[in-house]
Chains A and B, each alone.
Chain A
Amino acid sequence: MTVRLNPDLLPNLLISIQQSKMNEATATNQMASGRSVNQPSEDPAATAALVRNHDQSAQDEQFLKNLNNLRGRFQVADSTMSNIVQVMTRAVTLGTEGANGTLSSTDRQALAGEVLGLLKQTLGLANASYQGAFLFGGTAVNSQPFTLDPATNAVTYSGNSKTTSIQLTTGNFTNANVPGDQLFLNSSGSVFGSLQNLYSALVSGNNVDTAVTEVSSALKQLGTQRVFYGNVLNQINLSESFLNQDKVNLGEQENGLVGADLAAVVANYSQAEVANQATISAAGRILGQKTLLDYMV
């Protein structure tokens, strides 16, 4: 005695057809989107990880944008410094010339005039700005940091001595500026002070030697300070390559989380298609089968 089977095979067949259709649809979806996960319920853990991945990737993207902007600013600052170094070098040359005792007063005055020009040029450079913000005013970036008193030729600093700290990559901070007073009015070598003194010395013809030495030591001091900009530019480059690598890693991680293995998906699709065709053809045969009634006459 065999167990009586369900004579109605239709529900089973329909479920099989539906299942293979669903597999086809899933594979089609994955092919179209290139992703193996197309909604959170398909892989909740991968989707949650994807949220963190995309966030990290967006942060990296922003850091790269920041770095690009910072590089522009530091390059401008660095080349300004480089110009000032040239100006100072020229001042040393002029001073050395002026220290020569055989020079006439008229010649010295001419040299003094040129030094005053250099002083004003340096002033202009020290008041350099980048995208509307003064580069050497500490954090007082909205007002011109250096002003020249035309009577005394003394330069006063109206910026502040604050430094800012900027994040290059998550948690990796660097100083973003050197205050102008530290750069150009440094007590161990003042750019403006030494130029002012050189000018006065040349005008009076006294102590020109000392004034030249002063300018030289200010130049040396400036060179020391300038190293900072080079260092930051280096750090920017390093951070940039780190971020680019991180982005590649994140991209790979994303692909591992939700990327579709196209070869496998295509295979799945073909498999589903074959299964679907087979079930349909089986259903056609089973449902079209003759019954005992067909043989009764």
Chain B
Amino acid sequence: MLKVEQLGIRFGGVVALDGVSFSVAEGEIYALIGPNGAGKTTLFNCVSGLYVPTGGSVFLDGADISSLKPFERARRGMTRTFQNLQIFEHMTVVENVMAGARIHEKGGILAHMLGLRSVKAQNAATRRQALAHLDQVGIADLADQMAGAQSYGVVKRLEIARALATQPRVLMLDEPVAGCNAIETAEVDAVIRDVARMGVTVVLVEHDMHMVMGLADRVHVLNQGRTLAVGTPEEIRRNAAVIEAYLGATEAADA
């Protein structure tokens, strides 16, 4: 479903990514891990279109989307959440999710301005679906609260609900449980499994090893902008090079 070939990017003289490739099958949960500064978020930004890579290509369901802007990629079915949270603070929780459904809503601007009955009916339908997504992540009771006033854990889940509203084929999650407590982490974990079961391809960046190893089908380890190893969680756990990258050479010798 998603294929990345030889992606590379440099900022000035710094090579942040160098020849990274991977491919993810439909419905698979694919995790990107690596020490700080390995380039995970940079890779994310390149794949989702926020950065323009200096080399390489990105394919979505066989089609080359390398030159498409983020909003064009979203319309093809690729969306993402953000590490530093980009919710719409001045809108309510449910309105945030409704905004996610925008690409599936109809009507020209004239119809919207005239307030036709069809527009109102569509509003109601969109709201119902948004509430369903909120229910899926467990925050439906906060629907009409201002998004800007919510706690960190709620906002993290709101971002996921909002991304789901786009009905994505590929969902990219940037540290979905960073800063969450054990209960919240378990809830997000369950949501991701549900989503993957529905056929959505999930790519996530995470530092929580416990969660990643339990959740991911395959794991891709990055270090200093390059691919260090790719494999199932068990294979990665035993991989000496990976252990060395995370813990240092002397620790690896002791392991």
Q: Report if A and B associate in a common complex.
A: no
Interface of A toward B, CB cutoff 8 Å? none
